[in-house]
A and B are shown apart, each in its own frame.
Chain A
Amino acid sequence: MISELMINAFLVSIMLAIGIALLKSRSVIYTVLLTSAYSLVAALMFITLDAVDVAFTEASVGAGISTVLFLAAMAFLPKKEEQTVNNQAFPAVICLVLGGVLIWCSYDLPEIGLATSPIHQHIVPEYILGSRDDIGIPNIVTSVLASYRGYDTFGETIVVFTAGIAVLAILKNNKKTLNKIKSQKKVVKNG
């Protein structure tokens, strides 16, 4: 039991190290690669926490596709972050206070891995039994995702579809409209 927890603590500490490196890095390519490594370690953690479906989704979508998206966007963007002149004390204070409150609250959270904690009591036993008796799919996550909560998944696909349309609409190189706006501006300037 303790060894399981120690593996978790080790992996989560690696994630903390990557997070601190992210705070320090100024180059865009390091930032993107560190984000990818962060997602990969998160996927390892999901395996040790028994969430295998989440782990392979995170490894393929979180560490794979989003890194590809970042790299593709990077090709068109400035390569270095400018050194910020203003002080970052105010955001840092907000983050520290909020983090302190969260850690204070963490003493009321149930200890990790207790079978008696409230989250395991309510509807989950029915799902586990129903997945065997009613639906007949051995993977409980699949049966909940596609059957018990099928409408949620449907809504999710609508969200992804909308996001795809929005990306296409934003990135469409609409030169005609741009020229129109520019000529209008000129008219206004020349009075």
Chain B
Amino acid sequence: MISSTLGVWNYWIVFFLMMIGLFLVIGRKNLLKKIVGLTIFQTSVFLLYITFGKIQGGTPPILNNINETVYSNPLPHVLILTAIVVGVATTALGLSLVLRINSEYGSIEEEDISAQDLIDYHDLIETSKKISVKFKK
């Protein structure tokens, strides 16, 4: 009973962590928080993969010369090694975009940015109206 509960406990917590990451991405208006949420989501997916690869009583997949050693599955490890490095590249790209947005708008809150965009759009429509009036004259 205990071992079967522990056997799915990891999965459950990993799913909770994924949902925390997803909530940070879609529920928060701060752009930096969104990127933190992406990182949390990524790391929980890594945990899920590595959990699949575990064999009870196994050793890390490094060959020793003892026969009948059980090695844990090396394939998820390889995939996740690649994913970690790509994940950091994604984080760096996202952070640079946030910096650029901050230097342009002076804010990293989504609502401020969309409000400023609305004002700009309104200005553009006004000026285009003026121009068209001039053309008619």
**Chain B: which residue is nearest A111 at the CB level?**
B7
- Residues on the B chain within 8 Å of A62, using CB: 39, 43, 84, 87-88
Question: Which one, B19, B20, B108, contacts A78 given CB within 8 A?
Answer: B108
Does A138 lie within 8 Å of B99, measured CB to CB? Answer: no
Question: Which one, B18, B64, B84, B92, contacts A54 given CB within 8 A?
Answer: B84
Does A2 lie within 8 Å of B3, measured CB to CB? Answer: yes
Q: Does B47 contact A (CB under 8 A)?
A: yes
Does B43 lie within 8 Å of A145, measured CB to CB? Answer: no
Query: Distance in Å from the Cβ of B48 to the closest Cβ of chain A?
Result: 10
Question: Which one, A9, A78, A84, A163, contacts B10 given CB within 8 A?
Answer: A9
Q: How large is the interface on A (under 10, 10 to 19, 20 to 34, 35 or more residues)?
A: 35 or more
**Chain B: which residue is nearest A170 at the CB level?**
B96
Question: Which one, B91, B98, B131, contacts A66 given CB within 8 A?
Answer: B91
A-B contact count (CB 8 A): 287
A35-85, CB < 8 A from B? 35, 38-39, 42, 45-46, 49-54, 57-58, 61-62, 65-66, 69-70, 73-74, 76-78, 81-82, 84
Q: Does B28 contact A (CB under 8 A)?
A: yes
Question: Which one, A84, A107, A163, contacts B93 given CB within 8 A?
Answer: A163
* Distance between Cα atoms of A144 and B76 in the complex (Å): 11
Known contacts A139-B61, A160-B86; is-contact A115 B55 (Cβ 8 Å): yes
* Distance between Cα atoms of A163 and B16 in the complex (Å): 30
Known contacts A50-B61, A73-B99, A82-B29; is-contact A99 B50 (Cβ 8 Å): no
* Distance between Cα atoms of A124 and B72 in the complex (Å): 10
Known contacts A153-B82, A170-B96; is-contact A99 B73 (Cβ 8 Å): no
Known contacts A16-B13, A66-B91; is-contact A144 B75 (Cβ 8 Å): yes
* Distance between Cα atoms of A136 and B84 in the complex (Å): 26
Does A77 lie within 8 Å of B98, measured CB to CB? Answer: yes
Does B47 lie within 8 Å of A128, measured CB to CB? Answer: no
Does A160 lie within 8 Å of B85, measured CB to CB? Answer: yes
Does A38 lie within 8 Å of B43, measured CB to CB? Answer: yes
- Residues on the A chain within 8 Å of B23, using CB: 23, 88, 91-92, 95
Query: Distance in Å from the Cβ of B18 to the closest Cβ of chain A?
Result: 7
Q: Does B97 contact A (CB under 8 A)?
A: yes
Does B77 lie within 8 Å of A141, measured CB to CB? Answer: yes
Does A138 lie within 8 Å of B81, measured CB to CB? Answer: no
- Residues on the B chain within 8 Å of A170, using CB: 93, 96-97, 99-100
Known contacts A62-B84, A189-B127; is-contact A78 B107 (Cβ 8 Å): yes
- Convert B4-38 into 0s and 1s, putting 1 for each residue whose CB lies closer than 8 angstroms to a CB of A: 10111111111111111111101111101100100
Using a CB–CB cutoff of 8 Å, the interface residues on chain B facing chain A are 2-4, 6-24, 26-30, 32-33, 36, 39-40, 43, 46-47, 50-64, 70-78, 80-82, 84-93, 95-100, 102-103, 107-109, 123-124, 127, 130-131, 134
23 sampled A-B residue pairs with Cβ under 8 A: A5-B7, A31-B33, A50-B61, A54-B80, A54-B84, A65-B88, A73-B95, A82-B29, A92-B27, A98-B19, A99-B16, A103-B11, A112-B6, A112-B51, A119-B53, A120-B55, A124-B73, A128-B71, A139-B62, A160-B86, A164-B92, A189-B123, A191-B130
